[in-house]
Structure 1
């Protein structure tokens, strides 16, 4: 193929051709690659490296962008990069402006619609009716062509953007470009101090007491990376264990526990590897890291810390796993919570070798975190479902632990149950009947005084018990069958990964990890602020059109089930 060298003008020279991207002026085109397309063999005028690629790679090379399959220019100064970036943004804005094309409305495109003479009267012209209609149609086309959910129209920032533009005369304004949205504006929004932290003193104590957990996890990450990032070390590791090291992203559910569980399983293999002849005979350049990895793997104190983390987080992890299924478990959550707290306390006090009567600072911190999470995610429905489980009135369950009490003897449960009855049965007569039926259930009297029903309370599956023995309490039976068949949700304990999956979907999988995490950070903070208004915008990011359907509405998570949101409550309780 004949060489087609092209010498460009000097660096940063003005580009007379508006179709020519500006950063071509910073390289010298040497040879065209292929018959069609824009791929060239070029020489960088800054670092003198010879590379191949299209303009996107030229741009990535000069601006230092990663993920484009080309090394960055190490000779470019900060001033040069700033100049290149300004030229690129100006070019993108000019290109967008030159490509902007007014498209006539369908009614003006000759599709059989006839304009009525004199339809634009003085009143219409004064209020700009035609202009408003044209703008509405352009916005609608943006939704239709971009596949945007209609729920976006409830976004308060969507309204503020157009309100600001209408209230301020901005001649020649061009909307932010693709690159500006994902770089400059994104970083500027992240740097904004959106929500100031609360409970600083409490958080400082929690960080002080729990920072060692993060240190143990960091050591596990270092060991995993040292082994996985080299074929020879990975080959040696594979000889001593059949299990593989897990590379768990921090967007996964309980990712620290998952990784440490795998480390515990391969402990023997890891220790055999670092004391083997293959490990000793293999010499790597980075001996400092190799010695560090070996020191940690053969250190019994480090493994004791791993075991300790898994032991006191085990009850928490198991409870969340139970709640993260489709099986009915709403009526089991309250008891699981009490049992989980007690098991966590036992593991911590056993490790610290102190009686339960003494104070443990670490347990107080862990308990405070768990109680705060429970207070945030607990709902009255948990208490009501607990009250309608016949097992918790049986002698078998009550005698298992002397600290247990029946639901009607628990103050918190009774208060939340009463709130549920008020919401679900606003009619006073119906509520009185429900209270009478619950009195018979809790005291095992009336229609629930049959010996067979009492004997089966602790052994029969709750829904089956209500089917067999609850016919004479129709209100309570109907409510119990609906609640006892409801699964629970663990999404409120999932940190940010549900939001991450919402942002980093298969159609948007070109986002870099850092940019996706920035989007998660900004999204969560703006959602917190959006809860302040009391109008319809308060629910803009949760429900769909008029909250009439839970399908295909683009909501993030349906976790905060609360009687403060009766529309959602009724959708679950009544329509199930």
Structure 2
């Protein structure tokens, strides 16, 4: 084009007539675009002439009662039309803006319209995009920070746990979240975009140190991360820098790694032969799922037999293999009906070998028994993972929960193999070695101290439930780790000696702990309710490192309604049954 300064060179083949024609076409296109953007689409509901005329609507505060009664029917009809028009406008806002329908469940959605409708706000216009993303956003942020101040004020007395966890957003950006956790609940601190940066121990520890300094190093009790080598090394750097802070590996991540070790991948050179059948079953289930889901015709056939769907579970999901096999058991009847149906027999697919494999496995009762067995003996591990994967404080419960979990796994395996308590099971020995190895790698002095401070574990009721149980102060491993923890928390010799004396009175039921009610209540009260005022004041007040406001996970079925990081097939079962 012959337009100098526009970043294009002059075309020698363009004549003045051609340039003029181009300009006319450009102008016509601009006018057409402007016209289409301003085009008004008729509403599905139309107001009558009477309803659209505000002068015909009687005032709300009219004093003429007789006239009001005569016009009440007309007034009500006008209001119905106006309400229908308001509904149509709001609905169009949802449709044209791509707003999720779930917004209608937001209580603030109704509150906003109710507020405007019940107040005299003639000429009110809602805030625009600039006001929403600047002034009002800053106003809401300031209000939230003000509401969080009471929680922050407890940090110096109750202590804080800093939790760090990585995730990937919808744009595939690697993000690292930092959250402060207290007995009042979690509080988001910051999110760091780690894109293009090496996640070395130095980089992670620098981010943690920044957060710790923001919260106050004297307020922080522990830092929780996953069990990756770089995170562990970063945790050790934190412990070396701050004498009062512990690094604690995430127990949920530890349990997930244990499940992955048990359900090892196929064709792993180091795979234990005792576990190979588990990986074979998991591989078969994955192959069946992919065979059905990766083809439109087969998926349509499956959907005609089942209201429930297969779960597309990412490998990063906790207990992903167990969740997948749980869903398979729920789909068992539907899969069997599909492969024995006329549709399956008449369907012709190029890969008949895979189709025969799917049919053979689905109709194999022994294969389904193996799936059920995997779910049964891993259920104690999965249940503990779910129990720990909530906001419920559980630091003081982990030690005992892990021991109980192993015993429950042993019970299921021995019952399946028909063995007695004194018999040996090669399969259980392999599973037990994995669980014990993971525990040894993740156990910390802080967990042993929290376990030692739970009064329930000193009660006769708890000790009598299992002849192998001993009180925490009688366990050599727990005692050693507890003393290591106390030495770090109380570096001053005089304070440490006083704390040890208090713990001796506590564990041996002496002094104020010797009262009959105090001894009897150990089995029934949670730690905070049971402990004396002396425990809650002075240098021992931060022993409450876990925010232990709960004693046990009895009644853990309520977790089905919790906001977990797991896919929960039970929800879809209920939905399908309701349909």
Q: TM-score, normalised by structure 1?
A: 0.48
Q: TM-score, normalised by structure 2?
A: 0.48
